[in-house]
Amino acid sequence: MAIAQKKRTKSESFFSEDQLLSLQENPVPHHIAIIMDGNRRWAKQRGLPIKMGHWEGAETLTDAVEAASALGVKTLTVYSFSTENWGRAQEEIEALMQLFSTYLRLKKSSMVRDGVRLDTIGDLSRFPQEVRGAFQSTKEATSHCKKINLVLAMNYGGRDEIRRTFVKMLQENKNLHVNPEQITEDLIAKHLDTMPWGDPELLIRTSGEMRVSNFLLWQMSYAEIYMTEKLWPDFTPKDLFEAIVSFQKRGRRLGEGG
């Protein structure tokens, strides 16, 4: 099955020169996290199989990465498959596995061309070998890319990440006596999946839901949150632009209070 194609050309510009210049007046978030919610509802509203919503959502992600890169965002971390998603129907899970491997195979060359470096967070060990191989191949092919990091959260849960973080810390120090005073926030942060990119400054959630759904629980302590009613397949570069403008208008006091 071919990925659904939207009517656009690769060369078209998402933003005008004036729009790009307007963002330079205030800091653009270096790291944005997105909960890409609404693929299934989008498909159901159109009488389509659920898997078509996921395929359309994958194309929306392609646009989001390109748009984020154009706006100066350096890392985009997206919730692609949660630890809870294994509870979905087997048919849907199999369709998602096909999507992951096919999407990476088809997009690998364009990611290299556009300077998109792929990485993952979470535990990939539960995925089929074909899917793990597709991730490894694309990671290796894009390892030199420096324009933007695309981090896919795969078999990821915030609580599970914190659990794995403490397991790693204990394994590293199993032959050492560690005093409680040595367990600092900085030490924990160094063992989180997101250590290479730091905490997101902005979280975007689509489909109107008002929760973080076990996503980056530690890292979201001071993130600005932007909610939109749009379902993920309907999310456009214009929506990303508006989310960043909203972010720039907020006073980030980082715990200073009202």
85, 114, 123, 214: which one is catalytic? 85
Residue 72: strand, helix, or coil: coil
At residue 148, φ and ψ (nearest 5 deg) are -155, 145
Q: What is the DSSP string of 175-222?
A: TS---GGG--HHHHHTTSTTTTT---SEEEE-TT--S-TTSSTTGGGG
85 in active site: yes
Residue 127: strand, helix, or coil: coil
Distance (Å) of CA 99 to CA 135, 194, 248: 12, 24, 35
Residue 128: strand, helix, or coil: coil
First to last CA, the chain: 52
Q: How many CB atoms lie within 10 A of CB 140?
A: 11
Sheet holding 75-82, edge to edge: 116-122, 148-156, 75-82, 31-35, 202-205, 224-227
Which bin fits 66, alpha (ψ -120 to 50), beta or left (φ > 0)?
Answer: alpha
149 in active site: no
Which bin fits 74, alpha (ψ -120 to 50), beta or left (φ > 0)?
Answer: alpha
37, 119, 160, 239: which one is catalytic? 37
Catalytic sites, residue numbers: 37, 85
